[in-house]
Amino acid sequence: MKTLIITCVLILFFVSPCFCKRLLLASSNTYNVIYYGAKGDGKTDDSQAFLSAWEKTCATGGSTLVIPSKGTFLLKKNLMFKGPCQATNIQIQLHGKIIVPTQKAWQGNDSPIIMISNVNGLTIDGTGGLIDGLGSSWWSCESCKRPTVLAFHACNGLRVSSLSISNSPQAHIHINGCEGATFSNINIKSPGDSPNTDGIDISSSKRVLIKDSHIACGDDCIAIIGDSSDINATGIACGPGHGISIGSLGRNNGHDNVEQVYVYNCTFTRTTNGARIKTFKDGPGYARNITYEKITLIQAYNPILINQHYVGLEGVGGVEVSGVTFRGFEGTSGDDRAITLACGSRGCHDILLDKVNIKSSKTGKAAACSCTNVHGIATSTVPSCHGIYK
């Protein structure tokens, strides 16, 4: 009887090796998309295989979803990796390449290409992998609703490392409703003229750390909006792009509250903005307790910018801006506009400029500071800011 069982197993192995590999991986709680039908040939739609592998991963405790290194996986439709999961700790190993088709061949909608929702304790390791949104086929279509590549919603305790994303049709990464998230060694790359291709958008989230990353895109390298607090961006190389921004806040009279933001040891290289706070002219809410510190500037336009009438004519400045520190800025601006603090009639309060040294990269043009309705203090600041009231 024992001999018969061994014989049957050997026959099964030779007849269906894929089945045996799939069975072996499942027994170790590791789910490789190849063994759920993914071809990885860059031509076949692997969307369903990814979803099938995710369902098994989510349903099993302590699971790992594997996108292997030897393969280019085409996604023609949106993926929803949805929780809550039975597994308390899930890993995704993204070691291969994921691509999407051109805009005309895309079979999904304008939702994120990959949405991960309500999955706590998730770890993503992108070592050696890449998600390429092939956005160039979308960017020229101004009327097209374009998808973000990767979005996280209500994922607490999230850890994402060594992830590379390029050429998103729209934003590259969106973080919404998450608490306790860490993103490290993220590499985002899109042309500087690609429209609205934000690097990382953060909304309604708390305790988010983004560190040691390079972001090149056609819009904000990082944008913080909604009800967000305790956001830390450290060691970010931004450029090209529109800087690291708070806002825009108060759009369509929406109530946005952003506080406790710390941007430290970052570099802006030939960006259209650097450290920026932007609000709509009459929207409610506040931006407070915000610090930009130890910032290196390389021909960055608008290195320090507060704009309380971001769209439309000048207003009263409905979004309260207070407790903002710009400290330890060093380098060059793209032109003579080094510091622009344009606040509404209610004013911005408790604004501190300290140890700022910005020179114009334009020959014969001295760097300048422009202030409107600003209450605060400037110490050891070049260029001098004479329009700040204590």
Active site residues: 219, 242
Would you say the C-alpha torsion 8, 13, 15, 19 has a positive or negative sign?
Answer: positive
Burial class of residue 3, CB neighbours in 10 A (0-12, 13-18, 19+): exposed
Distance CA 222, CA 228 (A): 13
| Rounded Cα distance, 362 and 356, in Å | 18
Show the tokens assigned to 372. Answer: 């409107």
CA angle 62-203-291, nearest 5°? 110
- Whether 94 and 129 have beta carbons less than 8 Å apart is answered as yes
- CA 71 from centre of chain: 25
Residue identified by tokens 């971001």 is: 310
| CA distances for 15 relative to 5, 9, 10, angstroms | 15, 10, 9
Distance CA 275, CA 223 (A): 11
Distance CA 297, CA 382 (A): 14
Q: Could you give the CA distance from residue 323 to residue 287 in angstroms, rounded to a whole number?
A: 8
Other C-beta atoms within 10 Å of 4: how many? 8
* Cα–Cα distance, 388 to 350 (Å, whole number): 10
Provide the CB-side half-sphere exposure for 254 (13 A, CA). 14
Residue with tokens 């007849």: 15
